[in-house]
Amino acid sequence: MVPRLKFFLSWWAYSFPLAAITIATLAMFHETGSLLYLRIAGILLGITTVVIAGLLVRTAMAVARREICVEE
């Protein structure tokens, strides 16, 4: 059995650098026109989308369970 990690709102911090590197890669494509940057940006966009969707689902589940902003 796989142990489950407890969800924390700080997990959202993973989404910010992923989004930043995706935007930076798209900017490099815009500046250079290299299709390599466009392909890398597409992969990064897919990863970023999956991570943010997963975080959104986990956050919604935590809100539904009333696990957010609870006094410890």
**Cα distance between residue 38 and residue 59, in whole Å:** 31
Q: What is the DSSP letter of 20?
A: H
> pLDDT tens for residues 19-33?
999 999 999 999 999
User: DSSP string of 30-56?
Assistant: HHH--HHHHHHHHHHHHHHHHHHHHHH
Q: Where are the domains of the chain?
A: 9-64
Three-point CA angle 72, 3, 5, nearest 5°: 40
Amino acid (1-letter code) at residue 28: M
Mean of pLDDT values over 39-55: 97
Q: pTM for the full model? A: 0.84
